[in-house]
Structure 1
Amino acid sequence: MTTPRILHCVSSLQVGGAEKCAVNLLTCQHALGYKVAALSFGKPAEPFQSVLESSGIRVINNNESIIRRLVRTVRILKGFDVIHIHSPAVIRAFMPVFPFLMGKKVLYTHHGEDSPDQKGMRLSHWLAALYINKDFAVSEKVKLSVKQRYNWEPARTDVIPNGVLLSKGDITAPATPFKFACVARMVPLKQIDKVVTAFAQADIPQSELHLFGDGPERPAVEAAVAKHNLQHRVVLHGNVLDEDEIYRHVDCLVINSTTEGLPMALIEALARGKPAISTPVGEIPNLDKRYHFCLFSEDDTAALSEVMKTMASSPEQWEMLARNGKQLVEESYSIEQVSRTYLNAVS
């Protein structure tokens, strides 16, 4: 049996949930002996590109002028058997060359509930329905959004969770200081400046807030830190790709988003025995009904500050949440299981 050649297609290799899912799948499939590569329409200097290349995984950048990009896209597609698309922007980029995808095995994963506000998005997805062999969404809410965005019937889309590399270490109880953390791009929907405000209002003795990620909202976050005079207790790490380094600074992950699918950072944290605080968005409340790993806060800084106090003051509850979350990930979210599901869909 010939080993399939698999191309994972992303709009960029910046730090983000869809990109991280693609990186995890590439890393797993490469380790299993598959011939894999990434096609990125971003720039070579983007963070996850160096991660892939350091693991010996080929990255193909395709960001030339339109005509040259389309000609090169056709050449690239000819070299692979399975095309796995991770972004609606890639679907749009493939629109002029869609006939060359008709003979391929094409997977498409919807990672979020929104699409980029670009012309041609709906038309490109109408054409994509002709060549996509199997369509996936990372949560039930994302699946339902596909109907609204592209008028695709929900029955054609299967739900498959994001997968992570499992951590072999045991759960370690929090030391002093207690460390809250956000691991996310600093964009408006993540509301990280409000996390800083809630942390200030909670005023928990011997506690810190660690912020991983960067983005256009960083000035607002820095302003919130300065406003509350928290420079000695809030650490802005910027983009850090080493997960072990990130979660060394985490006792509790804080998600304060207005919308989510299934955040990669959440699954990564739970895999390492770190519980979460979250707004009740996306698939998170449904997962918590299966294994209680999270304390929920409404989209309100006062409410969030109270939940942060509760998390930091109850070691027994923290340990229960941590163990439940780790068990959930081990049973349902290993990247090996997720990769197997994808490949079985086109075998």
Structure 2
Amino acid sequence: MRIIQIIDSLEAGGAERMAVNYANALGTIIEFSGLVATRKEGILLHQIEPSVSYLFLNKKKLIDFRALFKLHSFVLKNKVTHIHAHSTSFFLAFLLKLIHPSLQLIWHDHYGDSEFLNKRPMGALKMTLPFFNGIIAVNQKLKIWAEQKINFKNTVYLPNFPSEKKNCTVHTVLKGVTGKRIVCLANLRVQKNHFLLLEVARKLQQSHPEWTFHLIGKDFDDTYSKKIKDLIGAFTLEKNVFLYGTKQDIENILQQSTIGVLTSQSEGLPVALLEYGWLKKPVVVTDVGEISSLVANGKNGFLIATQQEYLFYQALVELIKSEVLQLEFGNALYKTIIGTYSKKAVMAQYLNWLKNSCK
């Protein structure tokens, strides 16, 4: 098989990370693996392996014929057989199919607001998805939605998996005290609900003032990020909560951290959680999306209902007080990921599905 991944940008989001992860993973196990960024490059550009052929389209509008034919030339030159379109790049894949009908199209649905699927726009999807051969969903809710709401039967749930790439020349140094850092890998978006994190940080400041929160993720300089910064000031958390923006050296950052958290109100299967587990970090996370399939409450992490700030705080304190529990949770989460959410396990499922179902 000769497969290219298509993604709108290479910013450090979950869908973008998975597009790069798939391209890199396939680079050594199939005849040809390519990656196409349509609208914008970004920090993940530096994580593309040499075995992957890369193309940037610099697409400027919804229907950009220059970008479309540039992509078509790339497909022809490399004898591509499958287009794996991530998130909103499905529309470009659809246009490509119109001029190259023999291509097999796969759509990877990373929709982050899977708790609010009743509000999801469906017009463009209903028009284009009949041209696709299969859908990959990042959680079971999205799989059921595709099967029932848009009547697409060849849908498979495949879990996200963490990157195993380790080399990075950048070296971020986290503030705070070694052994007392809590990290949150999440772009500053509404669905990530940083306001819950700040309420928890406010409580922890009173009981454990030496512990600090480290927020890694893209700042969009919008109303949401402004409110986060305003609340940090209003709660006098300037010495307890630190914002770093987008970073490349996630492994280095996690090695400096003690506990990983996610306070999301909606998720698919967050790549951040997989990265916590890959580095054996104990976690406290909200029970949304596919997280409960990975985290068993009290066994390999703490799983808390959304908007329950006091319960989240209590779980965090329990972890803080016990280094033994931190170690047990971290090791148990790592074992869970190795068994089901590793690159090797997911790639085996993916290639088997392509060979048997997407023809």
> TM-score if structure 2 supplies the norm length?
0.82
- What CA RMSD, in Å, does the superposition of the two structures yield over aligned residues? 2.9
1:95 and 1:127 in contact (8 A); partners too: no
Q: CA deviation at 1:166?
A: 4.9
Q: Write the distance in 2 (CA, Å) between the matches of 1:219 and 1:123.
A: 33
- Judged with a 3 Å threshold, the aligned counterparts in structure 2 of structure 1 residues 244 and 54 are, in CA distance, closer, same or farther, namely farther
- Judged with a 3 Å threshold, the aligned counterparts in structure 2 of structure 1 residues 332 and 291 are, in CA distance, closer, same or farther, namely farther
Aligned match for 1:69, one of 43, 67, 73: 67
Q: What are the Cα deviations for residues 74-104 of structure 1, in whole angstroms up to 9, with x where unaligned?
A: 33343412211111x2122344443235312
1:197 and 1:224 in contact (8 A); partners too: no
Q: What are the Cα deviations for residues 296-331 of structure 1, in whole angstroms up to 9, with x where unaligned?
A: 233133332222212211222222211110000111
- 1:171 aligned partner: none
- 2:90 aligned partner: 91
Structure 2 unpaired stretches of 5+: 167-176
- 1:27 aligned partner: 24
1:109 and 1:136 in contact (8 A); partners too: yes
- 2:76 aligned partner: 78
- 2:126 aligned partner: 126
Q: What are the Cα deviations for residues 122-144 of structure 1, in whole angstroms up to 9, with x where unaligned?
A: 45433544432232212212212
- Judged with a 3 Å threshold, the aligned counterparts in structure 2 of structure 1 residues 177 and 230 are, in CA distance, closer, same or farther, namely farther
1:171-320 correspondence to structure 2 within 5 Å: 176-203=178-205, 204-214=208-218, 215=220, 216=222, 217-289=224-296, 292-298=299-305, 299-320=307-328
Amino acid at match of 2:325: Q
Sequence identity percentage: 22
1:139 and 1:283 in contact (8 A); partners too: yes
- 1:42 aligned partner: 39
Q: Write the distance in 2 (CA, Å) between the matches of 1:147 and 1:114.
A: 18
- Judged with a 3 Å threshold, the aligned counterparts in structure 2 of structure 1 residues 126 and 100 are, in CA distance, closer, same or farther, namely farther
Q: What are the Cα deviations for residues 236-270 of structure 1, in whole angstroms up to 9, with x where unaligned?
A: 11101222222123221111111111100001110
Q: Write the distance in 1 (CA, Å) between the matches of 2:97 and 2:123.
A: 12
2:23 and 2:52 in contact (8 A); partners too: no
Q: Write the distance in 1 (CA, Å) between the matches of 2:12 and 2:332.
A: 27
2:262 and 2:284 in contact (8 A); partners too: yes
Q: Write the distance in 1 (CA, Å) between the matches of 2:101 and 2:204.
A: 56
Q: Write the distance in 2 (CA, Å) between the matches of 1:64 and 1:72.
A: 13
Q: Write the distance in 1 (CA, Å) between the matches of 2:336 and 2:251.
A: 20
- Judged with a 3 Å threshold, the aligned counterparts in structure 2 of structure 1 residues 57 and 196 are, in CA distance, closer, same or farther, namely farther
Q: Write the distance in 1 (CA, Å) between the matches of 2:57 and 2:65.
A: 15
Q: Write the distance in 1 (CA, Å) between the matches of 2:51 and 2:235.
A: 42
1:106 and 1:133 in contact (8 A); partners too: yes
Q: Write the distance in 2 (CA, Å) between the matches of 1:50 and 1:316.
A: 37
Q: Write the distance in 2 (CA, Å) between the matches of 1:12 and 1:210.
A: 25
Structure 1 unpaired stretches of 5+: 169-174
Q: Write the distance in 1 (CA, Å) between the matches of 2:344 and 2:228.
A: 36
Q: CA deviation at 1:107?
A: 2.3
> TM-score if structure 1 supplies the norm length?
0.85
